[in-house]
Structure 1
Amino acid sequence: MGKIKPLVVIVDDDESVCRAIKRLLRSVGIAAETFASGDAFLNTLLSIPSYHPDCVILDVQMPGINGLEVQRRLSGSGAPVIFITAHDDISVREQAFASGAVAYIRKPFSDDLFVRTVRAALESSQPPP
């Protein structure tokens, strides 16, 4: 039986960022879905109880519910959270890590760093065989 591809969710209000990350992840064999807002992602989680992404990538600043609030609402889900942001603020970074984020990456970032970070997050969330 083949191994199921991990599912990574990208939540970012910038459509071009979503498209680029989705394409990058798919190019390395990782399934990805995108959401244009924290509200849309949280609504999907609420409406589809079986929906469990293996990793969530959140933009910090989005209209409506921001990335930190999405992270708070995901608490206890077990999915590692990686933040991406164009505006690096030390207090926001500290808050993200204090709430359990596994990484905090400033845009623009290198594809190699991003893929390594996502793979490390996915490996850390997998139960041992």
Structure 2
Amino acid sequence: MLDAQPWVAVVDDDESVGRALQRLLRTAGIGARIFRSGEDFLGALGLLAAQSAQSGAYGPQPGCAVLDVQLPGLSGLAVQRRIAHTGMPVIVITARDEAGVRDEAYASGAVSYLHKPFDGAHFIHAVQAALGIVPAG
């Protein structure tokens, strides 16, 4: 069974940031699931892939991943490299805006790079673009 509504994986170790982004996405009609580490996110992707393989259907994979650069364990950029083969759009977010990190994120295929704190409307626009959603109005 195909998942009709795309959802966004928000990977940020700061629980308040994850919840705030989830609420912001909800206001735009976009579902989100929060992961506190890159390992948690990659583990969930593995489970979703296994479930879809067993059922023969497409699993409810996220339509986009929002990855914080600084995470415990695997960095957001390391996670981005590990999922690059999936073609999943990635938006990189960070509190420390460094040119080298930004360049690496884009070179690895990020569709957007946002420096915290960022404007909520800009964030929603970036997610909508990554999901292929045309904003109403």
Task: Give the structure-1-normalised TM-score.
Answer: 0.90
Stretches (4+) displaced over 2 A: none
CA distance in 2, matches of 1:117, 1:89: 20
CA distance in 2, matches of 1:40, 1:76: 18
Specify the alignment match of 1:114 in structure 2. 123
1:46 aligns with 2:43: no
Q: How does 1:1-129 map to 2 (within 5 A)?
A: 4-49=4-49, 50-123=59-132
CA distance in 2, matches of 1:4, 1:46: 21
The number of residues matched between the two structures is 122
Query: What 5-or-longer segments of structure 2 have no aligned partner?
Result: 50-58
Question: Relative to structure 2, which stretch is displaced further, 15-24 or 43-52?
Answer: 43-52
Task: Give the structure-2-normalised TM-score.
Answer: 0.85
SS of the equivalent of 1:76 reads helix
- The alignment yields a C-alpha RMSD, in angstroms, of 1.4
Give a deviation string over 1:38-64, Cα, whole Å, max 9, x none. Answer: 010001111221341100000001110
Q: Give the share of equivalent positions with the same residue, in percent.
A: 52
* Structure of larger gyration radius: 2
SS of the equivalent of 1:32 reads strand
Query: What 5-or-longer segments of structure 1 have no aligned partner?
Result: 125-129
CA distance in 1, matches of 2:40, 2:119: 27
